[in-house]
Structure 1
Amino acid sequence: MGVEIELHVDRPVLDWDRSRGTLIRGSYEHGDELADVLLGLDETQQGNLARVDPYGDTLFDEQQAQAALREVPDLLQRCSGPSQTVAVLDLERLLRSCSQTPGRYLWFVGD
């Protein structure tokens, strides 16, 4: 199980092959570590990152990415080792890139 993240210039078609035209950058190396950290979040708590489904797809627009950036420090506190920390820092970079430009989307692709 893992969560891959893709940054898109426009709302992607949630179909792997058809979405390549809007893809800017992806994160594919830290999926298992990121999924482990996200699974530790309580789904009843407020926040965007608790909504990410490690088993399905979740889409954030630039406003949701901006809100999720405020959740990163708490997520970093939950990391159990360096590999999880690297995964969360990679997530933070993509959230920041998404939040800085209207019309961008982050697609969390779960297993």
Structure 2
Amino acid sequence: MGIEIALYDGRPNSGRTTDRLHLSVDHGDALAEALAAHTRPADHRLGRIDPYGDTYLNEQDAAAAFEEATALLARCTTEAQRAAVRDLRNLLANCAAIPGSWIWFIGD
């Protein structure tokens, strides 16, 4: 079970042309572990990420999820989880800074 993260300049799979700005595939398993162990779906945007399917966040969601990822980083128990969450935080910050952008979480 792993989660890849892709940053797009628009909503992916929307029928209009979008460009992928970044793809993160290095921390999929560790990210899935960190999210499963340290988030709750009812309380967090990050907890709603489906490790087996697709989840999308727009730039506003990414800005709010950045704070969640900061708190998640403090709860990680392994260096692999911390590296995965640092990568996630970078992508969330980039998405929040680019108007109209989206993050696509691609589960196994």
Q: Structure 2-normalised TM-score? A: 0.91
Q: Which runs of 5+ in 1 are unaligned?
A: none
RMSD: 1.9
Shift of 1:85: 0.4
SS of match in other structure, 1:5: strand
- Indicate the residue corresponding to 2:26 in structure 1: 29
Q: Which runs of 5+ in 2 are unaligned?
A: none
**Residue-by-residue CA offset, 1:22-74 (whole Å, 9 max, x unaligned):** 21111000000000011122223x22101111111000000000000111222
Identity %: 43
Shift of 1:13: 0.8
Range 5-14 or range 94-103, more displaced: 5-14
Return structure 1 stretches of 4+ with deviation > 3 angstroms.
18-21
SS of match in other structure, 2:55: strand
CA contact (8 A) 2:10 2:18 kept: no
SS of match in other structure, 2:104: strand
Decide which of 93, 96, 107 is 1:96's aligned counterpart: 93
